[in-house]
Structure 1
Amino acid sequence: MPTLFTPALRIALGLLLGASAQASLADAPACPSNDLPTFVQAFAASPELQQAFIATPLVEQRPVLDDRGREVTARYKLTGDNRHLLTLLDAKAQAQAGLHSFWDDKTLVVNDPLGDVVQAFVFERAACWQLVRVEQWSMDGLLDRQAPANESALQRQMRKADLFLGYGGREQYPLTTYFFELGQRILLDAAHKGSAKAAVQAVSLGFSGMAPELKPGEPEQLLLPYAQNDVEAALMLSMYYCYPQVDTDAESCQNPGKSEAILQRIAREQDSASAYHYLGSFYAEGRWGKADPVKALDCHQQALKRGDLESLWPMTWWTRKGEMPAAGGRCLNEPPQA
């Protein structure tokens, strides 16, 4: 069978292909820097660098709902010219839009303080740096899809905080720490706009260690206006008075008088089953000093009368142990004299 190429033709073809490859390499721009921030500064300003150092295919990631309505993410492989996705890489564009940026390892995150814009650019290193993924973390799509009728702006803001905290709670994304910090920041803003629930959640996050600890005195400033009427805020404030610092080693309540008084008042004024329940629990364990099971029993009985079924558990425990406190105690202290 005759050969398709003679030796001379094969040599000529090899020389032609080699020359073509060398020409292609010569046309490719050089890597502007081994330092990633320096590389990105050049990359953001140069269409030629973008064309050369965007991975093929580029991946775009977005938050979505799965078929069960759970918040997950989806990734899409993009083809064609995707340089329009890089607008916010440019520092001037960020400044004009009132945005800020920070580095998280090999990821540049462009964002605004309350999470209306959160865009992450993920780079990997080969012969030079490459942009391999763009993550769009704006929650507007999910918020629009799940929006209740007649939702207020403050209610929407609370749902946005819950979404970011939910993604953080999965602890599977590189930006987990940022999601908790952002969620807390959104809640603090909502607390200043009138949400008692946001105040309680923001303080709770600060004590959990998942988000930054609040400034000294800030929990009281946030909670005190709401604790006059809101049971959860009063309970959180009571806890704060006992243990005002996250890293405290104190085993006993630091300010038992204030801690007890706030729950006593909310139980009396709001006739709250939850307040009676927590009063019973705290008297039983001696949170504010010596344990007072007689007083605790009446608190739990008052909570039960108001529909708090959790107060069945301590009474069941006392019964099984044969340690039921004596009847006749009074949960509420005498009201303070005017």
Structure 2
Amino acid sequence: MTTNKYIMKWFSIALLSLGMSSGAYASSPNATQCPSSDFVEFVKAFSSEPEIQKAFIAPSVKHVHVTADGKIPKVVERSLNAIDADELKVLLPENAAAANLIIQIKVPNRVIVRDEAGHFLKIFVFKRGGCWVLNRVEDWTLDAVMNEITQSEKLTPGELELKKGVIFDRLVNKASPDSGIYLYAAALDSYLDGARKGSPKAAIAAAGISLSGQAPRLENSKILELFIQASNNIPDAGLALSMFYCDEGNYDNERPCINPEKSMVALESAAQRGSINALVRLGEVYETGAVVPSDPPRAMACYQEAQRKDPESSTPSVERLATQGVVRNPSIQCIKVGSL
């Protein structure tokens, strides 16, 4: 009997050392029981019942948020002995819906609360023991930080959202891989918000991060819309538009250009509006026959026109064609007359 008492005593000490003897793990008959072994069901109970919240919050919770250090966003992590009940209210579906927020429960241990415009992003991380316990809250919401960083700047419509998207993108390096994917999504949402407000740079940023595979993939029709919006103001965006007409973002699949006519129109328009990169690309297109039939003399005309505007841009291409016997024909222009 004495031996059993010693065993129980040391067993209790072992549990204490592992942090497993608190009410959060329901170690005594009077402790709150784990509401469910299924994480989704656990979250539903946790979000709606204050007593369960009290029982299943770790004694020390890691809290992450972003502040402004001058013009630079800074990630601050600290340990808290308590979490404000108001911070947990967003986990209740009706509260989230009222604030136009989306709740995403990600097995095995995360709850993401976010909007679709990059204004709100919180991640609640649980640790599994005998039950789940909330041990980390990440608040990546940037609106207050952006107000402080840009308070002395005169911003054009959509530029604030563009800057916020860039910051979300950079903050990925400060987050875990599991959280980083939601920062990329918030960056995309911010860029899209900036595009809606008229920023062509935000439009091309949204298309780019979506095609990169880092953020969620938008529908092709939406990506096309973004590239067109951007190309109306940024000549080089016409180059991206031209390439998207050909491959629709499937870079790994070598296949004929899907829409060569629209691709060439976008490329020539970009070149006429001053894009040297578009001129070089036209040279490549005519040299290789990748979009239209091969036309080396016209390729030479494109390369030389680019060379006149920027000597370093295509000199090697001009020299390469010259060694192949291609000569400049003054009667041939890079962009055919009346092609646009």
TM-score, normalization by structure 2:
0.78
State how 1:166-177 maps to structure 2 within 5 Å.
166-168=170-172, 172-177=176-181
Q: Which residue of 1 aligns with 2:303?
A: 300
Distance 1:100 1:197 in 2: 27
Q: How many angstroms apart in 2 are the aligned matches of 1:281 and 1:151? A: 38
Partner of 1:113: 116
Provide the secondary structure at the position in 2 that maps to 1:178: helix
| Aligned residue-pair number | 319
Higher Rg of the two aligned structures: 1
In the alignment, the residues of structure 2 paired with residue 312 and residue 281 of structure 1 have an alpha-carbon distance, to the nearest angstrom, of 13
259, 266, 269: which is aligned to 2:270?
266
Q: Aligned residue for 2:291?
A: 288
In the other structure, the counterpart of 1:251 is 255
CA offset at residue 170 of structure 1? 7.5
1:334 equivalent among 313, 321, 337: 337
Instruction: Describe how 1:1-338 pairs up with structure 2 within 5 A.
Output: 25-63=28-66, 73-80=75-82, 82-105=84-107, 106-147=109-150, 149-168=153-172, 172-244=176-248, 246=250, 249-268=253-272, 270-307=273-310, 309-315=312-318, 322-323=323-324, 325-328=326-329, 329-336=332-339
Compute the displacement of 1:135 (Å): 0.6
Q: Which moved more, 1:231-240 or 1:162-171?
A: 162-171
After TM superposition, the score normalised by the length of structure 1 is 0.79
Residue 9 of structure 1 corresponds to none
Deviation at 1:143, TM superposition (A): 2.1
Q: What is the one-letter code of the residue matched to 1:191?
A: A
Unaligned runs of 5+ in 2: 1-8, 13-20
Determine if contact 1:199/1:233 at 8 Å carries over to the other structure.
Answer: no
**More divergent stretch after superposition (114-123 vs 254-263):** 254-263
Aligned equivalents of 2:154 and 2:200: distance in 1? Answer: 20
Task: Give CA-to-partner distance per residue, 1:261-317, whole Å, 9 cap, x none.
Answer: 22223323x243333222223323322233333322322222233236332343465
In 2 relative to 1, CA 83–330 (structure 1 residues): closer, same or farther, beyond 3 Å? same
Q: CA deviation at 1:122?
A: 0.6
Q: Are the counterparts in 2 of residues 44 and 50 from structure 1 also a CA contact under 8 Å?
A: yes
Offset at 1:129? Answer: 1.4
How much identity, in percent, do the aligned residues show? 28
User: Following TM superposition, where does structure 1 have runs of at least 4 consecutive aligned residues deviating by more than 6 angstroms?
Assistant: 21-24, 65-68
